């Protein structure tokens, strides 16, 4: 039985007990439960689950192997992995859509993205500047719809503002102090063709993430980058909100691993608050994962927004926090019974079996400790141990990129090595 899916079964069958389906997962360093959240299987009594769209924000390349596996299994139709390297820098095209639909959320996300590139955090735009930018975005989108030969990208948006929209402003006699178009073009020039960051918003891959069911944003290499990181966070926001509002009747999940600490600093704090309060209304779930109890105690975003709006709480082995557990108990509102359950985790495991225990609290009315035990194939699909990941990747390369076959061969060799 897959524990997390069993929780989903309980929550769908007994929804009247719970206000929302958000998760707060307190996972010590050695824990790996967050990998089981994504397995998409079902408990023995659970109904078949609908297809789930997952947006995952991570640091440390924990999900690279899984994403590659999904990509290969779907013949490249799914399993999209975004990361940054010098050889292959992260690139998007926020102006592209498969269906040419630019709803209000899409338009606002483009506007917010450009504002982030144009203005500093301590430099809010004037009302006149907001109106001028909003009009520029709207007119560019209308041009995209009428001119099918026009390639949607930041490059063509920049050229539209420089050539077409400049004439509109001149005809309307918009004053420079109300909208300084020369300053606007100068500040955004690094993102235009030939600029330092011209790769960022001009991806030539015609990729609309609305239809992709498994997307990973690996942000470790850029989380401290003052230019790239704010842009990527806005892209993440737009991707999930677009799914949340447009994919009606389809389960959506956003899982933010340790990355939430960086994201909460960069203008996404309000988004996280909005997300945890709203996502349940759109058949969605928001999950955050943290390894350090001090993080959740110290962060007002987590304390006020995530914990208060997460009816499902998941804790792994907390023995290393035994002396701090009173503060955890108070923060999460745990009863003495729940505290006893949590502190019993992994205290009397069967030595002959390889499993880890985990505690689930559901809406304050139901709680239990479960065991999670997986096959070797599943283990090597989800492992985050560096040596094991390298073993899988090395064999995958020898097998012409067939990661599924590599995992099967490694699992079989380990079974023979372990004698069963």
- Percentage of residues in the chain having pLDDT higher than 90: 32
Q: Which two tokens stand for residue 354?
A: 């390889």
Query: Residue 9: what pLDDT?
Result: 35
Could you tell me which CATH number the domain at 3-91+212-372 has?
3.40.50.300
Which of 138, 155, 149 has the alpha carbon at shortest distance from 194? 155
Helix locations, 54-147, DSSP H: 64-73, 104-118, 127-146
pLDDT at site 195: 94
CB of 350 within 8 A of CB of 381? no
Torsion sign across C-alpha atoms 319, 324, 325, 328 = negative
Q: What is the pLDDT of residue 24?
A: 53
User: Average pLDDT for residues 330-345, to the nearest whole number?
Assistant: 90
Instruction: Give ranges for CATH 3.40.50.300 in the chain.
Output: 3-91+212-372
Q: Give the three-state DSSP class for 55.
A: strand
What's the confidence (pLDDT) of residue 378?
A: 87
Q: What Å distances lie between residue 249 and 52, 103, 148, 211, 281, CA to CA? A: 10, 19, 32, 14, 11
Residue with the larger pLDDT of the pair 416 and 299:
416
Exposure of 358 by Cβ count < 10 A (0-12 exposed, 13-18 middle, 19+ buried)?
A: buried
pLDDT by residue (tens digit) across 128-150?
A: 999 999 999 999 999 999 998 99
Label residue 359 left, alpha or beta by phi (over 0 means left) and psi (-120 to 50 means alpha).
beta
Residue 25 pLDDT exceeds 60? no
**86-110 confidence digits (pLDDT tens):** 888 888 998 988 878 888 878 888 9
Q: What angle do CA 394, 374, 220 make, to 5 degrees?
A: 50
- pLDDT of residue 393 exceeding 60: yes
Mean pLDDT of 314-318: 87
Mean pLDDT taken over the chain: 81
Q: What distance in Å separates the CA atoms of residue 388 and residue 85, rounded to the nearest whole number?
A: 22
């Amino acid at each position: 039985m897959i524990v997390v899916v069993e929780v989903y079964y309980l929550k769908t069958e007994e929804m009247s007990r719970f206000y929302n389906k958000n998760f707060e997962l307190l996972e010590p360093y050695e824990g790996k439960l967050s990998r089981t959240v994504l397995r998409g299987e079902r408990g023995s009594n659970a109904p078949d689950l609908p297809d789930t769209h997952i947006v995952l924000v991570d640091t440390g390349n924990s999900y690279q192997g899984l994403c590659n596996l999904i990509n290969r299994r779907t013949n490249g139709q799914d399993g999209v992995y975004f990361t940054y390297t010098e050889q292959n820098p992260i690139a998007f095209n926020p102006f592209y859509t498969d269906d040419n639909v630019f709803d209000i959320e899409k338009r606002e996300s483009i506007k917010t993205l450009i504002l982030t590139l144009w203005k500093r955090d301590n430099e809010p735009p004037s009302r006149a500047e907001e109106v001028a930018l909003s009009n520029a975005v709207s007119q560019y989108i209308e041009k995209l719809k009428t001119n099918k030969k026009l390639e949607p990208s930041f490059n063509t948006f920049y050229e539209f503002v420089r050539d077409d929209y400049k004439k509109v402003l001149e005809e309307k006699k918009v004053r420079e102090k109300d909208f300084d178009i020369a300053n606007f073009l100068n500040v955004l020039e690094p993102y235009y063709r030939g600029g330092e960051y011209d790769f960022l918003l001009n991806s030539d891959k015609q990729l609309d993430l609305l239809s992709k069911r498994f997307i990973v944003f690996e942000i470790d290499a850029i989380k401290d980058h003052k230019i790239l990181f704010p842009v990527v966070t806005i892209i993440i926001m737009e991707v999930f909100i677009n799914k949340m509002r447009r994919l009606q009747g389809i389960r959506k999940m956003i899982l933010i691993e340790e990355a939430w600490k960086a994201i909460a600093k960069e203008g996404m704090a309000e988004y996280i608050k909005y997300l945890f309060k709203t996502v349940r209304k759109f058949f969605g779930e928001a999950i955050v994962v943290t390894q350090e109890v001090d993080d959740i105690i110290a962060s007002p975003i987590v304390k006020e927004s995530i914990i208060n709006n997460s009816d499902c709480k998941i804790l792994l082995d907390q023995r290393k926090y035994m002396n701090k557990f009173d503060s955890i108990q108070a923060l999460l509102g745990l009863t003495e019974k729940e505290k006893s359950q949590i502190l019993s985790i992994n205290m009397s495991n069967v030595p002959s079996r390889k499993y880890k225990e985990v505690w689930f609290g559901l809406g304050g009315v139901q709680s239990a400790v479960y065991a999670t035990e997986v096959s070797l194939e599943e283990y090597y699909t989800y492992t985050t141990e560096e040596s094991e990941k390298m073993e899988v990747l090395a064999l995958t390369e020898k097998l012409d990129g067939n990661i599924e076959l590599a995992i099967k061969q490694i699992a079989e060799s380990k079974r023979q090595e372990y004698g069963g």
